[in-house]
Amino acid sequence: MAANTCTMPFIVGKRKPNTEEPVYDVKRHLVMQELLRKYEPKPKKDKK
């Protein structure tokens, strides 16, 4: 699962006709928020 570490700006050429743009939409956003809740740090309990 490794992304490369190139330092170039992300440059694309001419848009191909009749192609659909990938979108991180509301549906994905809500699913991801639910997933991320599992990994939220829990507040530390105060020691008395």
Partner 1 sequence: MITIEKWSTRFGALAQGFIVSTNRCQNPDHFSQYLQWCATPDMQQGRSFTYVAVEYKDDGTPLAIAGFVSARANAFVDNDRRCGDPAIEITELAVAAPYTRQGIGLALTGKILELGVKLAREYIGVRFAVLRATNEARGFYENKALGFRSADETFEAVPGLEGNQGCVPMYLRLAVEEITPQCSSEDEEA
Cβ 20 to partner 1, closest distance in Å? 7
By C-alpha distance, which of 28, 46, 24, 47 is closest to 36?
Answer: 28
Q: How far apart are CA 34 and CA 30, in angstroms?
A: 6
Instruction: By CB under 8 A, name the binding residues for partner 1.
Output: 1-6, 8-16, 19-26, 28-33, 35-36, 38-42, 44
Residue 2 CB coordination number (10 Å) = 4
Whose Cβ is closer to partner 1: residue 25's or residue 46's?
25
Cβ 6 to partner 1, closest distance in Å? 5
